[in-house]
Amino acid sequence: MTTAKIGVFGGSGLYKIDGMTDISEVKVETPFGEPSDAIILGKLEGETIAFLPRHGRGHRISPTELPVRANIFAMKQLGVEWLISVNAVGSLREDMHPLDLVVPNQLIDRTRSRVNSLFEGLGLVAHISFADPFCPILSDILVQASREIGASVHNGGTYVVMEGPPFSTKAESIMYRSWGGSIIGMTALPEAKMAREAEMCYATLACITDYDTWHESGETVTIDMAIANLTRNANAARKIIGIVASRIPETHNCGCTSALMNAIITDQTLIPPTTKEDLKIIIGKYVR
């Protein structure tokens, strides 16, 4: 099977990456079932990219129902070390305008109906460090690439992850602003947690589609508005991914790739053999 060092999760409106060559589709089997869709493998700027439309082609899967564990595991099986997440988000700040890009550096988790760990229910507990949820190296490359194409990009910010699929009430939106939230969306978690558990470098390119519901304009947030603006940002996202693909370093100068080193707390003799076997690609360095 072809392997790829760089993976991309496409969000709402980003269902393919123009400019990829030598394209093939692969269906990856995982211990967690099927990913959201077949993974598209192809060359971009000389690098092999693994692309997965997060919601499936045709946008069939809601944020709560995303098979995140399968998506992350499939990327790991394909050899992905650097994982770029493209997300549609609303703005919680006046200075972050629709069509701006944000590369956030923090998260607030407001989800409530999702599995939050690759290891949940499998007889293994790992307490990863998650104080800084995004890879600083990959985030910096995303910011630099965004600036190079002339995009209006914000370096840093707090991404509030809500459950969805409905958008926020005005009261919720105002509350998130009071917490210091910068943007709001539905898909960065548990992706970021599981990517860290899988020891992959993960960062988000957030595409602002609207001002959520707090803004004085009183304009109602609709999916048509969100998709129209994300479609306009999709071309920028594709250009940025192309630049990032050519800038990925050979070595990892961050802690992402050793996140599990001291995180697994379960007595190894009590970890079920099936878990050890199924998750060998992730835990094999630490569990025998």
Note if 22 is an active site residue.
no
Q: Hey, what CATH topology would domain 6-283 get?
A: Rossmann fold (3.40.50)
Q: Could you state, in order of their start, the residue ranges of all structural domains in the chain? A: 6-283
pLDDT tens digits, one per residue of 236-252: 888 999 999 999 998 99
Active-site residue, from 132, 210, 224, 267: 210
With residue 90 as reference, give the H or E element that holds it. Answer: strand 82-91
d(CA 158, CA 46): 33
**pLDDT tops 80 at residue 1:** no
pLDDT tens digits, one per residue of 125-148: 999 999 999 999 999 999 999 999
Note if 210 is an active site residue.
yes
Which residue type does 90 have?
G
Residue-level pLDDT at 221: 58
Active-site residue, from 95, 212, 224, 278: 212
Distances (CA, A) of 149 to 19, 42, 57, 143, 248: 16, 22, 27, 10, 17
Q: What is the overall mean pLDDT for the chain?
A: 93
Cβ burial, residue 216 (10 Å; 0-12/13-18/19+): exposed
pLDDT tens digits, one per residue of 56-93: 998 899 999 999 999 999 999 999 999 999 999 999 99
Q: Strand, coil or helix: what is 284?
A: coil
Which residue type does 254 have?
C
**pLDDT tops 60 at residue 218:** no
